Amino acid sequence: MRPMTTIDWKDVQDAAAIIRAGGLVAIPTETVYGLAADATNDRAIASIYEAKGRPRFNPLIVHVTGAEMANRFVEMTPRARALADEFWPGPLTLVLKRRPDCPISLLASAGLETLGVRAPAHPLAQALLGAIDRPLAAPSANRSGAVSPTRAEHVRESLGEAVDMVLDGGPCPVGVESTILKLDGEKAILLRPGGITAEEIERVIGRPVERADQTAAIEAPGMLASHYAPNAAIRLEATSPGPREAFLAFGAAPANHPHTLNLSESGDLREAAANLFAHLRALDALCAEEKLNAIAVAPIPDEGLGEAINDRLRRAAAPRQK
Ligand code: TXA
Ligand code: MG
């Protein structure tokens, strides 16, 4: 284990090469270790969910060098800027609106219109972000349901071979996850308490912070009413599409159906997860344009990443919360 401030540039270069190639690197942050991948690479993001063994797609926090980089991806409102000026780099995640041209994987934000961004204060995390000049999506580097790792050894114990490299930055000085604050119009909503207190935030924004329902906001972000749901009706377990349906295929598909997108022709679940949100959106738009009745969805095996894909599809097919 190394002291936190020593930077081994060879390690940083190796980590950067792995990230650029779509691999996974566990990185130290001041809060906990994160399991990082290129946030713009859908396949790499799918590997994160696979490595964590999560049965659901939870939105991931996207790590940036600072406010300037964040501004490429989300709308940094004046209040967001003020908070970033005060607390970044540091343990504050801001949930903000994605820019229309945001290149971050839709899978990273689980199909939401918003994105959680933060600038980590750990010098190794900053060195890696600077070296790749790309955003890094990183949930805590533990298997789903396990406690967050605060030492490199914890990551190796929890994730083993599922991670391509562990950047050892010593023990994490803060040890609890970042505070998550959602800025929505006039509102500032605390989604998760963490390294920065509500009082500290209130001092900067000059108004009270609202507390979100913990269970709804964090345990089940996929159930939030704001979660992306297609406008089109969804028909699951469809072995073939009807004439007035769009088709979300998986594996072999009828060659001549005009409105088909395939999650993975080869039946690869990682590729399917990577394509899921983008394909759903595209078919939803197509249904509106072509006045189709529904999106028919091929059966997806309920194993590995298939479990999370099916969870998301069932939500998309469920009656809408209005
Ligand atoms: O300190 C931390 O925040 C660590 C380090 C690695 O940065 N990361 C972390 O990530 O704790 P994770 O995946 O374990 O927790 C991320 C949580 C999600 O479960 C979700 O509740 C919330 O952040 N989140 C992320 N993006 C969101 C969004 N767009 N809207 C609402 N909640 C979001
Ligand atoms: Mg976590």
Give the Å distance between the CA of 279 and the centre of ligand 1.
24
- Among the candidates 148, 176, 211, a domain finishes at 211
What's the pLDDT at 268? 96
Is residue 275 classed exposed, middle or buried when 0-12, 13-18 and 19+ CB atoms within 10 A define those classes? Answer: buried
Q: Is a pLDDT exceeding 60 seen at residue 128?
A: yes
Q: Is a pLDDT exceeding 70 seen at residue 2?
A: no
CA dihedral (151, 65, 113, 205) positive or negative: positive
Smallest-distance ligand from the CA of 144: 2
Ligand 1 pocket by Cβ (under 6 Å)? 29, 31-32, 34, 58-61, 91, 93, 95, 109, 112, 114-116, 120, 138-140, 177-178, 180, 191, 218, 221
Smallest-distance ligand from the CA of 95: 1
Torsion of CA 197, 200, 204, 206, to 10 degrees: 90
Q: Which residue has the higher pLDDT, 222 or 82?
A: 82
220 in a domain, yes or no? no
What's the pLDDT at 224? 46
* CA–CA separation, 282 and 287 (whole Å): 9
Q: How many domains does the chain have?
A: 2
CATH number for position 193:
3.90.870.10
Q: Is a pLDDT exceeding 60 seen at residue 162?
A: yes
Q: How far, in Å, are 87, 117, 154 from residue 186 at the CA level?
A: 20, 19, 40
Q: Which domain holds residue 289?
A: 233-317
Q: Which residue has the higher pLDDT, 35 or 226?
A: 35
What's the pLDDT at 316? 87
DSSP letters along 60-121, please? PEEE-SSHHHHTTTB---HHHHHHHHHH-SSSEEEEEEBPTT--S-TTTTTT-SEEEEE---
Residues 114 and 22 in one domain: yes
